[in-house]
Structure 1
Amino acid sequence: MRAYLPQTSLLVVFGACALALGAGASTHAALGTTDPSAISTVFLPMVRTAPSVPTVVFTTLADPQSGIPTEYDVWLLSGPQHQVQKLRTQQSVLDLRWSGDGSYFLNNAGEPYSVNLASTSVYTLPSGANYAWQPGGNRLLSTTADSGFISNADGSGVVQLLPNLADVTFVRWSPDGTQILAGVRANDADYADCYLLDADGSMITKIATIPALTADWTSDGSTIFYLAPDENSIRRLWVQPVGGGDAKPISPLDAAGSTYIWSPDSRYVAYYDRQNGLRVADADGVMHYRSAVDDLERLQWSPDSSNLAYVTTFYSSLGLGSMLWSVNVGSANIRQVSFHSEDIEGIYGDLSGLPIWTDDSSMLVYRTRTSHQLFVRPVAHAAEYSAIGELVAGLLGVDTDGSLLFSRQVGEQYTITRSRVDGSEAEDLALLDKPIQQASVAP
C-alpha cells in the first residue's frame, strides 16, 4: 500500500494496492455481504465510465490538544491515484461548498476561507458575511447585515452592490449565474425594492416593489417568488415575471407554513403545512395533487420534475420509524417506496436529511441511521429489500458518472468507497483511522 502524509497516521490510499491485486484476485466482495471477513477486504478498481475521478473535501476530528476546544482536520481526496492531503486544522464549525465549476471550495462558517483546488492555496475571507458561489462559475456573492458584495474566489476584486442604496435585505444568484437579484428595504418598512444586476454588479434595473423583505428565483430563472399577505391578510406564495408583468398569488395555497419547494423545471411548487397537508400546484395556481398526510419531514423533487419524494415518520415500540413515498405529479399516483422501523437519511451532514435521487429519476438512495445500511430503491415498481452497503457510516454524495460515494466501517477504520448504483462494482479509494465528520463532492 502507498501511504500519504507520513507525518500522520490517518490515511492510507487503496489505489495502488488494488491495482497490484490484478483481475483474478479473490478479495472482491459484494457490498451487501454480512460476512465480516469479506467486508474488510479491498474492492477492485472499477471500470471508469467517465474521464474524471472523484474529488472530495472532508473533515475528521483532530487529535485533542490540552486546553483547546474541538478542532477539525480538513482533507482533500483527488487525482487518479486518489491522493489524500491535509489542508489545514481549524476550530470552527465547517460548512464546505464547492464552486460551480469545481475549481475552488469554500468554508462558509466560523472562519470563512476558500481553497484553490489546483494549487491547494488557502485564502482567508472576511468574517461576518454569508457567501454563495456563482452557479457554473467561481465568483462569490456575499451579504452582511445591510450590504451585498461580489468578489473573486480568493476574495480579491471586491465590488459593493448597490453602493448608493442603504439597507440591502438580500442578494441571490440567478440559477444560470448570469444575473443577481437584490432587494433594498423600501420607504415602507415591510416592503423591498427588487433590482436585477449583471453578474459583475453592473446594469442595475429595478423590476418590482414587493410586500416582503426577501425573494428568490424559481428554478428556471424566469420568475421570482416570495411570501406575502393578500388583500384578506392571508399569506400566499406570489410569483412575478423577471421580464415584466404583474405579480400573482398561487391560489389556493395558504402559505402559513414554511415548507415549499419548486420543481427543477419550475412547472410545479410543492407546499406542506401540518394544518393543510401536502399540496402540489403549477405556476398558475392549478392544483395537481393534495394529501392530508401528517408528520411529513422532507420533500425532494426528482431531477426530471416528474416525481416528488417525501418522508413521513412514526413512533412504535421500537422507537422512531420512517416511510419513504413517491408521488407522480402527472398521474397523481402515490407509491410507498420503503418502510423502516428506524430513521433514514441522505447525504451525511446534510441537515435536511433528504434521500437523494439517481440522475435518471428512477431510484432513491438513502442510509438507515441505526442499522447503517445503504439502500437504492426503485420508485416505479416494488422490489425486494437488498442493501448495497453494510456498516455504512455515511453517504457522501454522487460522482460525475452517477456512482455513489460513501464511507463504510472496516473494523476500527473507515473507507471512502465508490460503487455503482446497483452494487455490481465497487472500489475503496482510501482508508481512514477516524470517521468522517463532513464531506462535499466536487461537481
Structure 2
Amino acid sequence: MTSNSTKKFINLPEKCVDDALEGFVQSHNNVMLVENHRVVVRQDVANLSKAGKVTLLGGGGAGHEPAFAGFVGVGMLTAAISGAVFASPPPSSILAALRAISSPAGMLMIVLNYTGDRLNFGIAAERAKAEGMRVDMLFVGDDCALTSGDKSAGRRGLCGMILAQKMAGALAEMGKSLEEVKATVTAAVKNMGTIGLSLSPCSVPGHGPTFTIGEDEMELGLGIHGEAGVRRMKLLPAAETVSVMLDHMLDQKSATCFPLKSGDAVALAVNNLGGTSVLELNIVTMEALRYLEKKGAAVEQVYAGSLITSLEMAGFSLTLLLLDDVRRSCLNQVTEAPAWPHVFWNVPRNNNLPKLREPQSIAAAQTAEQSNAKLTPDGRDALQRAVRSACEALIARHDHLNALDEGCGDGDCGSTITRGAKGVRLLEGGSSTMSL
C-alpha cells in the first residue's frame, strides 16, 4: 500500500520522545518531568502522600499519544512513564517513577498485557519492594480478537486500559485502599472487551511502515503496535465493517468473547488509532450504536476520540464495558486529565433521536405555486425535459469537471454539481410537477 507514513514532523528520531514529553509538559501547567527520566508527574504529588491516598502509575512505549501522559491529573493517573516508541520503559526509569509517587497508602501500576511491559514493570516492582515501598500491579488484557488463549501470552492490552485508569483514579481519589482499588478494577477488566481494525500501517520514526496492506484491504483484530490481526478482508462500508467487528467480538464460540446480553448496560469507547478523520469516527460511532441497539444493549455512555493511538495508523477500535453502580460512578467522576474526552451520557435509544424538520417558507411555497400556474401543461413538460437533459449532461461530465477543478481548486466541482443534479432528478421523480 502506498503510504507517506514515513514523513514526520520531528527533529531526530532518537530525540522524538524526549522532545514530545517536553512539549507536553510545557503546555500543561499541572505536571512536571522527573529529571533524566521520561516520567510525567502531577505537581501536587506530595499532597497525595500526605493525604494517605493510593498513587497510580501508568505507561508503556511512546507512540500511543495521548496515552499515557495525557491521562495524568486529578481523578486519573498520578504519573505516566514512557519508553521509546513502541518499546517498554526500562526498569530503572519505572523505579524512578515509583520513588517520585511513593505513598504510605501504596502504589498501583496499571500495565498493558505485553511481555516486555510485564517483565520491566515486574522487575521495577521487586526493586521498589526491596526499598520498602508498597507497590502492586494490575494487568489489562481486553483484546477480543484472539479466538483462543492457546500459544499466546494472553489477551493483549488495548483501549480498555484508559477506562481502567479512569476507574482506578476515581477510586484512589475517594481514598479507597490499594487492595480495594486493584480488586474493583480487576473485576471491571474481566467485563471489558476491545477489537481493532486498520486500513493502513504506521511507521516508527526513522523506519518504514510496520506492515503492508492492499489499497482495497483492511485488517481485523490487530494490536496497537501493528501486531497481526485475525484476518485480512476486502474494504467494506462503515456499517458492515462495524458489524463484522462486533460480530467477532460477541461470538460466544470464542474464548475471548465479550458476554453481552440483551438489556445489559454498557459504556462504549470508539478509539481513533491515529489517522482516522473525525468525520469517519462519527460515522463509526453511529453504526456501533445502531448495532448495539439491535442487540438490546443499553449504551449509557459514549467516549469517542483519540485515546490510545498507534502513531498515524488509519483505523479504530471499539471497547465495551459492562456497567454496574460502582463502575458507572467511577467513570462519571470529574477528572482534570487533559486527554479524557467529553462524554455523551445516557445516550438516547437510536429510534428516539430528536430531529427537527426544516419548515418551508410560506413565501417560497406561494412563489413556486405562482410560477407553476403561469406555465401551460406543454410548457411544464418542455421545461422538465430541458432540466432533465441538463442534469444528465452534468452527471455525464462528472470526471471532466473534477479534472478541470484540480487545476485551480480542490478537484470536487464535478462531484458537487453531480450531487445537485441527482437531487433535482429525485425532486422531479417525487412530484408530477417540479417547483422551480
What range describes the TM-score normalised by the shorter chain of this pair? under 0.3
Task: Give the helix-richer structure, 1 or 2.
Answer: 2
Task: Give the strand-richer structure, 1 or 2.
Answer: 1
The structure with more radius of gyration: 2
- Pick 1 or 2: higher relative contact order, CA cutoff 8 A, min separation 6: 2
TM-score (norm 1): 0.25
TM-score (norm 2): 0.26
